[in-house]
Amino acid sequence: MSDQPARVSPREIAEFMDAARAHRNAAFDGRAGSNAALLAWKSSILDRIAAQTDDAETRTVADNARAELAAARAAEIGGDR
C-alpha cells in the first residue's frame, strides 16, 4: 500500500476551492497571477482521486487536468498570456 498516493481529504478540497475562489476574484479585479500553481494543485487532487478507483471517467478527468496544466505551463514558458 505504500505505493498508493495520499488520499484527498475534505479539508484539502475545501482549501483548494478557497484558493480557486480567491484566484477568480483576483482575476475579476485584474490582478490574477499564474494559473499554473492552482492547476498543479487541481491536477494533484484529481490524480490522487483517480488512483483510488478503476472508473474510466474519473481517470479521464485527471488526464484532462494534467493536459490543462501542461498547456498552462507551456503558455507561461512561451510568454503566451
Q: Which residue has the cell 501542461?
A: 70
Provide the pLDDT confidence category of residue 4 given band limits of 50, 70 and 90.
Answer: confident
Q: Is residue 28 part of a domain?
A: no
Q: Is residue 38 part of a domain?
A: yes
**Residue 76 CB neighbours (<10 A):** 13
pTM (predicted TM-score): 0.83
Number of domains in the chain: 1
- Name the percent of the chain lying above pLDDT 90: 70
The whole-number average pLDDT for the span 7-24 is: 96
Q: Is residue 71 part of a domain?
A: yes
Q: Is residue 15 part of a domain?
A: no
pLDDT at 79: 66
Q: Is residue 59 part of a domain?
A: yes
Helix (H) or strand (E) holding 78: helix 56-78
The whole-number average pLDDT for the span 7-25 is: 95
Q: Is residue 74 part of a domain?
A: yes
Q: Is residue 50 part of a domain?
A: yes
| Structural domain range at position 77 | 34-81
Q: Is residue 11 part of a domain?
A: no
- pLDDT tens track for 21-53: 999 998 877 776 778 999 999 999 999 999 999
